[in-house]
Structure formats: structure tokens, C-alpha cells
Amino acid sequence: MITRISVALFLALAPVTAFANQCPAMMQAIDAAMPNASLSEADMAKVKQLRQQGEDLHKAGDHAGSEAALGQAKTMLGI
């Protein structure tokens, strides 16, 4: 019985861990692309805002929200 509960708990938490590991990689990709991006000042400010929002959400444990914000920033950067 305990083994089944342990396995179920592990399987339930596995997707959360996968999301948590994706956020830092997305932030690194954004950081690497920003210096070479040819965006307007307004668009660059928006990218920076989305990048920060993504980091804040990641730290708060909202990995789905973090991915959404970081995904928008990546789209704006063309990556």
C-alpha cells in the first residue's frame, strides 16, 4: 500500500519538476539573445519586463505562469 502511494506521489510531482527545470533554461536563452537583438526601446523594455516577471513567477513556484511570460519574451526576441 505504501509503495503504491509513493509511486503515485512521485508520478504526480514529476511534471512539476520538469517545468521547474525549464524556466532557468528559458531565462538563459533570453539573456543570451538580448544583447544582439534589434528591437525598439519599447519592445526591449517589454522583453525585460517579461523576463523579470518570468523569474519572479518561477521563484514563487508558478512555473506555468513563468513559462508563459518567458515564452512571450522569447517570441519577441525571435528565439
* pLDDT tens for each residue of 37-55: 999 999 999 999 999 999 9
Whose cell is 543570451? That residue is 32
How many residues does this entry show for the chain? 79
CB 47 within 8 A of CB 77: yes
Quote the percentage of the chain above a pLDDT of 70: 73
Element housing 46 (H / E): helix 41-60
CB 66 within 8 A of CB 58: yes
Tally DSSP H helices, then E strands, for the chain: 3, 0
Give the confidence band of 74 by pLDDT, cuts at 50, 70, 90.
very high
